[in-house]
Structure 1
Amino acid sequence: MTVPSAHTETSPESALHYLAGALAIFDPLRLRAWAELGLTTGQLRLLFLLSQHPGVTSGELAARLTVTPPTITGIIDRLVRLALVRREEDPADRRLVRNFLTSEGENVCERLEHGAEQFMHTILAEMSAAEIGALSTGLRAFIAASERVARQGPTGKYEESQ
């Protein structure tokens, strides 16, 4: 990766360059770990979503993953056959079916998260405390800005329903 000159450190282009460089290193490793499991990106996204939000309905999953209901049903069916997801009727409303990770589904998520954490710790061990502090500050600001933009509609105005 070519490092931009020091006088451009505060430009959006410089930040994008560094972000792209970091992702170019991390993404292939993450994708290789995922491929070793024999799961698609969509299936893994669903597993991680269920790990954060157990018991969501298929409709909620489809909306959060921005796919159609038939697509989400197919993904869930495959994960049920692989014993990574289980479906349960909602005791309060039998018309609703809630989705949960099985213990094996939880293990898959934990293994992937642990591998990613180990990799990140290895990288951070190469950095000084000041560099880690600067990274943390920058990432906090990036996350806050991302959340603000995510709440905006296509016109750039904040959505009323949020």
Structure 2
Amino acid sequence: MAQAPRPFLGLAAGIAAGLVASAAMAAFQSQAAKLLPDEGGEDPATVKAADAASKAVIGDPVPEPYREPAGQAVHYIVGAVLGGIYGVVAEYRPEARSGFGSAYGIATSALLDEGAVPAAGLGSAPQDTSLPFHAYGAASHLVYGWVLEGVRRLLAGKR
């Protein structure tokens, strides 16, 4: 007999897992970025998103001493939101957990890095991004997906 979905537990477990997965992703990125060629000192998309939010609210970009922490806040907020969505979806659709979170990780990479970020003007278009940076983004999101599912499963159960 199938277990009834638990959307509130899924949401809470997903948010918590999303925060942990975001930390794991950031740790992976800090090491993996050392292997990439330097392609200019452009701000990360998260910092650009923080600037856009700051300009919308107060009319100015994030002041220099707060740029990196503001970008990190965007990273963790997005990770928690995506984790919450995953946690709820995983309660209703077991296939969302395919590949121990790999499918969701790759989906977030495609939707964010390849779609939303360029569309919002926060990063380069996919065709203008080098292959190593595509691989870096996909690998980063795979780490996110794996840790997301692992922590979600610890908190909400295997199902």
Alignment TM class, shorter chain as reference: 0.3 to 0.5
Instruction: Report the structure, 1 or 2, having the larger helix content.
Output: 2
Instruction: Report the structure, 1 or 2, having the larger strand content.
Output: 1
Q: TM-score, normalised by structure 2?
A: 0.33
Using CA pairs under 8 Å that are at least 6 residues apart, name the structure with larger relative contact order, 1 or 2. 2
Q: TM-score, normalised by structure 1?
A: 0.32
> Rg bigger for which structure?
1
